Amino acid sequence: MVATYHSPFSQRYGSDAMRAIWSERYKRLCWRRVWVALAEAQCELGIVSPAQVDDLRAHMDEVNEASIARALEIEREIQHDLMAELRTYAEQCLVGGGIIHLGATSADIEDNADALRLREALALVRGALARLIRALAEQVLHYADLPAMGFTHLQPAEPTTVGYRLAQYLQELLMDLDEVERVHGAIRGKGFKGAVGTSAAYLELGVAELEQRALAKLGLAAFPVTTQTYPRKQEWHVLNALAGIAQSLYKFAFDLRILQSPPLGEWGEPFGAQQVGSSAMPFKRNPIQAEKINALARFIAALPRVAWDNAAHSLLERTLDDSANRRVVLPEAFLAADELLHVALRIVQGLRVNEFQVARQMQAYAPFAATERLLMALAKAGADRQAMHERIRQHALAAWAEVNMGRPNPLPDLLCADPEITRRVPADQVRALLAADAYVGDAPARARALAQAALARIALIL
């Protein structure tokens, strides 16, 4: 098997649980489940016999390497995968084989099976997303009060806290959870409506209530009107939800890569004792997990466009130009999202925050931001606001020159040595106003409130 191509999603990316949902075996099991539900409903309505349905039910789970090989052999001859599985199933069911697929068209089976798989895959995503949110909320609480330098335009701005910065990612993931739950709850199957969605073949059997009976056995709701397929817009909604998660994690991973860069060195992803950072440079500690998130997130971001085209180009009652790409897009979108969530969970749980480096950045840059507080205090003390602004600006420019040379920030000393400033605000008060941890606003409280709300919500899921 190593001499032929295998997708990275076959082993490298995604969990075994997600792979199982999109496996060839499970797809065929879902097809058989739909066929049995249809036959059971037909039996209740007197169309087929109990013995025939019992036979189908007895062989429903007999999907293995041998049966798949047989189906593929038939498919090579007839060029129709569902019919090949149908014939394979019928060969196993000597009593009931003749009534499989009665009244149905291929999409009645495939689309209902796909709806079942979409629903199960979204449930896995929801669980993984909830675990990530819980881990992130715990880190937000842990670092809610730790002051850190905030950056806008990738330039030092004003202080924030590590927990408040983490809370930004948490908030976006909670928005993603809202969308995943909405889409999961809205998943619908095609139902049993035949070749163009009119139910004509089923009505020929004289049973208008067949669809609802079969759907109830599958635990699946259906779109009220369809063509030959369910609306492909549904899959666009699903892929947009996955792309939303990818977007949130892309930002987190990219920020982590910036903060892990040695000139900042504030954060770092976990790095194993035996981990090799580079084949050429033994000292390297590359952020490979964050980079993997960014790589796979870009891939996911491109997939909603494919689903958009599938929906927009499903002409009249149906065209088949979506079929081949759906075999790739749906499984790989879910497996890529699954990998993102599991990698992000490992990063968040093992996130390294270098408090020395965080404090170093604060010492270098935070006094500049805190001058706003000093300016307000001077104005309250009766000083000319414009004159004080100019004095502070001049001291700040001198301090910037020192910081850019790699020296300690002299701004507090310069301001405390200015008699025009200390005449209005005593030197000890100037230093207090420039204290970094006193200029983070209500960031700690907001971070804690969001984290606590997130944990309360996740407790209802996990």
Q: Of 72, 71, 63, give the one whose Cα is nearest residue 20.
A: 63
Structure tokens at 167: 């809370």
Q: Contact 135/56 with Cβ under 8 angstroms?
A: no
* Number of C-beta neighbours around residue 11 at 10 A: 10
> In whole angstroms, what is the distance from residue 101 CA to residue 97 CA?
9
DSSP per residue over 224-271, as a string? Answer: SS-SSS--THHHHHHHHHHHHHHHHHHHHHHHHHHHHSTTT--EE---
Beta-bridged to residue 267, according to DSSP, are 353
> In whole angstroms, what is the distance from residue 270 CA to residue 350 CA?
5
> In whole angstroms, what is the distance from residue 118 CA to residue 333 CA?
11
CA angle 238, 303, 30 (to 5 degrees): 50
Instruction: Compute CA 29 distance to the chain's CA centroid, rounded to the nearest angstrom.
Output: 27
Give the three-state DSSP class for 160.
strand
Structure tokens at 6: 């295998």
Q: Of 337, 314, 130, give the one whose Cα is nearest residue 241.
A: 337
Q: Is the dihedral of CA 108, 109, 112, 114 positive or negative?
A: negative
Q: Of 56, 69, 5, 62, give the one whose Cα is nearest residue 29.
A: 62
Q: Contact 227/317 with Cβ under 8 angstroms?
A: yes
Q: Of 37, 34, 22, 200, give the one whose Cα is nearest residue 106.
A: 34
> In whole angstroms, what is the distance from residue 219 CA to residue 316 CA?
29
Which residues are part of the catalytic machinery? 153, 278
* Number of C-beta neighbours around residue 1 at 10 A: 5
* Number of C-beta neighbours around residue 213 at 10 A: 18
